[in-house]
């Protein structure tokens, strides 16, 4: 389980954020004493740091600079400042991503998992029920047969695979698709899911995707 450390001085936001992250299967902790932020953040040994810019004592950009001297822990800047200057500055100090408040929570989670994956730099071959998932080729194979997925189907499948066993809402799937420049509408999502289902069935995984009325889908 990845540990995420939240540096945010607004109490309400950091508590909700921690809850959001815990609900999504991360371990979340936050900073409460900003007097000694540098040591606290470094001592937390987190896998990823979510950092606001407007924080007491050292501001986020300075803190980021300090942290970068010691460690390569991924940092996502989360701030209410919408200006290119802050983004350019943050990125040049070594931030891995920059998100402005208010953000769509699903998008935030997508970015977190993307940054974590990049940091882990694992070869992205995963398996599902004995099927090899090949991201680069965009295909599934069971050793003998290989089934090519379209880009949309791959995005949907990957998203569900990361959350295997728990409910994925249509809304989250839509966000994942749109985040990958696939601006599809509702009908297209339905079509993509049913195609994905039949492709999985052909590979011997019948009923892999279960529909939950009014809630979403579960990959078994």
Contacting positions for another protein (CB under 8 A): 10, 12-13, 16-17, 19-20, 23, 54, 80-85, 87-88, 101-107, 171, 174-175, 178-179, 181, 183-186, 188
Percent of residues in the chain assigned helix, strand, coil, to nearest 5 = 45, 20, 35
21 burial via Cβ count (<10 Å: 0-12, 13-18, 19+): buried
Asked if residue 175 lies in contact with residue 168, where contact means CB atoms within 8 angstroms, the answer is: no
- Smallest separation (angstroms) from another protein to the CB of 184: 7
- Smallest separation (angstroms) from another protein to the CB of 76: 14
Indicate the SS3 state at residue 64.
helix
- Smallest separation (angstroms) from another protein to the CB of 115: 16
- Smallest separation (angstroms) from another protein to the CB of 150: 17
Residue closer to another protein, measured from CB, 85 or 198? 85
Residue closer to another protein, measured from CB, 13 or 42? 13
- Cα separation of 173 and 37, whole Å? 37
Taking alpha carbons only, the member of 47, 35, 62 closest to residue 6 is: 47
CA distances, 116 to each of 54, 73, 135, 160, 208 (Å):
24, 10, 17, 17, 27
Residue closer to another protein, measured from CB, 126 or 180? 180
- Smallest separation (angstroms) from another protein to the CB of 6: 12
- Smallest separation (angstroms) from another protein to the CB of 216: 12
Residue closer to another protein, measured from CB, 18 or 75? 18
Residue closer to another protein, measured from CB, 19 or 135? 19
- Residues composing the chain: 220
Residue closer to another protein, measured from CB, 57 or 80? 80
- Smallest separation (angstroms) from another protein to the CB of 183: 4
Asked if residue 29 lies in contact with residue 44, where contact means CB atoms within 8 angstroms, the answer is: yes
DSSP track, 86-153: HHHHHHHTT-SEEEESS--HHHHHHHHHHHHHHHHT---EEEETTEEEETTTTEEE-SS-EEEPPHHH
Residue closer to another protein, measured from CB, 97 or 153? 97
């Amino acid at each position: 389980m990845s540990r995420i450390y939240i540096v945010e001085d607004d109490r309400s936001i950091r508590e909700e954020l921690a809850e959001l992250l815990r609900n999504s299967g991360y371990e979340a902790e936050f900073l409460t004493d900003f007097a000694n932020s540098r040591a606290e953040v470094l001592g937390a040994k987190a896998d990823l740091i979510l950092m606001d810019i407007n924080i007491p004592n050292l501001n986020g950009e300075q803190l980021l600079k300090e942290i970068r001297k010691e460690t390569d822990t991924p940092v996502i800047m989360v701030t209410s400042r919408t200006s290119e200057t802050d983004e350019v500055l943050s990125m040049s100090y070594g931030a891995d991503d920059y998100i402005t408040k208010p953000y769509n929570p699903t998008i935030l989670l997508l970015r977190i998992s993307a940054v974590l994956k990049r940091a882990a730099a694992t070869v992205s071959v995963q398996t599902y029920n004995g099927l090899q998932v090949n991201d680069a080729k965009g295909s599934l194979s069971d050793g003998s047969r290989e089934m090519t997925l379209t880009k949309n189907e791959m995005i949907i499948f990957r998203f569900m695979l990361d959350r295997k066993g728990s409910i994925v809402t249509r809304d989250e799937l839509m966000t994942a698709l749109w985040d990958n420049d696939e601006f599809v509408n509702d009908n297209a999502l339905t079509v993509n899911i049913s195609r994905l289902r039949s492709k999985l069935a052909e590979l011997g995984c019948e009923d892999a995707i279960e529909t939950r009325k009014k809630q979403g889908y579960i990959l078994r």
